[in-house]
Structure 1
Amino acid sequence: MIVVTGATGQLGSRIVERLLERLPAAELGVSVTDPRSAAALADRGVRVRRGDFTDPATLATAFEGADQVLVVSASIRGPQAAGANVAAVQAAVAAGARRVLYTSHQAASPDSLFAPQLVHAATEQHLAQAGTPFTALRNGFYASTLGWYVGDAMTTGRFALPADGPVSWTAHDDLADAAVAALTTDGLLDGVTAPLTAPEALDLADVAAMLGELTGRRFERVVVDDDAWVAGAVAAGMPAPAAEFTLGMFRASRRGEFAVTDPTLERVIGRPATRVATVLEGLLADRPVR
């Protein structure tokens, strides 16, 4: 049995749907914090059990009988984040899984300027020391993140944000396909993978120009001072810790942490990776162009 955590999230849900195209539902289990959210999967024959990374006792039941466990990294910020992912890895090993997979990031590093990368690096280190075969999927930066900025730009005509750098924006669909390939192909992507990224790295000036081409409008890239941006974000209602967290992404990108591209993703999924323009078209699909 394959057990997938976070099965109702953006990445986990895609992975589960693709696995169901390849495997009988009885061979698939999901671990979710609220089983009611996965009722539709249970109706299709998938084993649904509660599993909460912050309540490790629940994971023993969630991972029971698993041959492989895919730990989708917890969407938790702060000191609990690293411990939560490690708890999930430990529970998978204790449940007897012959292989543990983890959704890491291409910029995982103990000295990153973006907090999640420290968490990924710590989890990778634990995986390597756990004594069980593992795969750390070093995913590219989710291209859907651009949605947070495209919405404002469509209203204001500006990308008014801190200084940034190139990012290898990568689509959830492509990363889901890579995870499924790893889960269903023996020996594929063992250990810490190469960066699983789209083939182009674009900064927000590039994105602004691309958005202009798609809409026929002009979008201006305005660089805002870090402190001024944080103050403005907080004034607009963003909690201060969230603003500082987000600023870390810009600091890391302008240091070049997300600029890496690699052909491994396209090789694994057997097709070209989704282009940023395609992601932008999807983000625009439900938005009126004014």
Structure 2
Amino acid sequence: MIIVTGATGRLGARIVDRLLERVPADTVGVSVRDVAKAAHLAERGVRVRAGDFTDRAELDHALQGADQVLVVSPSIRDPREFVRATRAGLDAAVRSGARRVLYTSHQMASPSSSFTPGRNHAESEAYLAERASAHGVAWTSLRHGFYAGAFELFVPAALRSGELRLPADGPVSWTAHDDLAEAAAAVLTEHRELSGATSPLVGPELLDFADVARIVSEQTGSPVERVVVDDDAWKAEAVDGGMPESVAEFTLGMFRASRAGENAVTDPALQTLIGRAATPARTVLAGILSWALPVSRHR
């Protein structure tokens, strides 16, 4: 049985959908915090069990009978809580008796990353390698590119103001959630015994936010200007606008990392896994504009 944690989240839900296109539902299990949110999966024949990373017994039950476990990294910004939760999930996956444990990491995984999650993922990869080796379990770390869905955080406001006001940045190989979900499903079902950390699973082109502003202007017919804002000034604006200070500081890490060149990576690995061209960032932008533009015009 293939078991996926976090299967009602933005990435996990997509992975399960792609799996169900490839294998019978009764060979797929999910571990979720709220089983009610996975009722639609249970109706399709997927095994749904509660599995909170804070409850060892519950998590062990959720992963029981696994042949492969995909631990989707939790969406937790606090570094200490992220590490604690991730280790709990990885420990449970190794304990389950699965022959292989997979983990959704990041292409910036490095102890020296300017982005906190990059350092966190590097620590999690090292922990998984140690634990898996000690128990004779194969492991794979899927090093994801930066999610193009992050445009949703910035583009709607830019449409309203005509300005994309953000800190200085650098080129990023923005990557679509759907592509990464398809890649995970391929690895889980096509006997692709990728060992250790993968090559970067990233989108096909490098774009900075000046490029994003240009593409948005082209796609909408309304000019959006890229305005570079000092880090401290942007953080103050973000907090004044209602963003928690911790989230603003977290977000700044993305810009620091990109201007240090940590995201300036392209690689064919994602295309190879999914057997087609990866989704361009401008396609993701068009999808966001399809709902954000009417809202901005209404306001």
Tell me, in whole angstroms, the C-alpha distance in 2 between the residues paired with 1:9 and 1:27. Answer: 20
Q: Identify the residue that residue 94 of structure 2 maps to in structure 1.
A: 93
Which of 201, 209, 214 aligns to 1:209? It is 214
Q: Which amino acid aligns with 2:26?
A: A
Tell me, in whole angstroms, the C-alpha distance in 2 between the residues paired with 1:245 and 1:231. Answer: 13
Tell me, in whole angstroms, the C-alpha distance in 1 between the residues paired with 2:52 and 2:258. Answer: 31
Deviations 1:149-192 (A, max 9, x none): 11011101111011111111000111011100110122343221
Tell me, in whole angstroms, the C-alpha distance in 2 between the residues paired with 1:279 and 1:209. Answer: 15
Q: Identify the residue that residue 281 of structure 2 maps to in structure 1.
A: 276
Tell me, in whole angstroms, the C-alpha distance in 2 between the residues paired with 1:284 and 1:187. Answer: 36
Which of 156, 163, 167 aligns to 1:158? It is 163
Q: Which moved more, 1:278-287 or 1:186-195?
A: 186-195
Q: Which amino acid aligns with 1:209?
A: R
Q: Is the Cα contact below 8 Å between 2:186 and 2:192 reproduced in 1?
A: no
Aligned pairs for 1:1-290 within 5 A: 1-78=1-78, 79-130=80-131, 131=133, 132-286=137-291, 287-288=293-294, 290=297
SS in 1 for 2:101: strand
Q: How many residues align?
A: 290
Q: Which amino acid aligns with 1:215?
A: T
**TM-score, length basis structure 2:** 0.95
Deviations 1:244-290 (A, max 9, x none): 11111111111111111101100111100000111111001123275
Q: Which amino acid aligns with 1:230?
A: K
Q: Which moved more, 1:54-63 or 1:113-122?
A: 54-63
> Cα offset for 1:201?
1.1
**TM-score, length basis structure 1:** 0.98
The ranges of structure 1 where at least 4 consecutive aligned residues each deviate by more than 6 angstroms after the TM superposition are: none
Q: Which amino acid aligns with 1:253?
A: S
Q: Is the Cα contact below 8 Å between 1:102 and 1:137 reproduced in 2?
A: yes
Tell me, in whole angstroms, the C-alpha distance in 2 between the residues paired with 1:142 and 1:173. Answer: 10
Percent of matched pairs sharing the same residue:
61
Q: Which amino acid aligns with 1:192?
A: A
Q: Which amino acid aligns with 2:16?
A: V
SS in 1 for 2:113: coil
> Cα offset for 1:213?
1.0
Q: Is the Cα contact below 8 Å between 2:100 and 2:139 reproduced in 1?
A: yes
Tell me, in whole angstroms, the C-alpha distance in 2 between the residues paired with 1:235 and 1:83. Answer: 31
> Cα offset for 1:20?
0.9
Tell me, in whole angstroms, the C-alpha distance in 1 between the residues paired with 2:198 and 2:271. Answer: 13
> Cα offset for 1:216?
1.1
SS in 1 for 2:76: coil
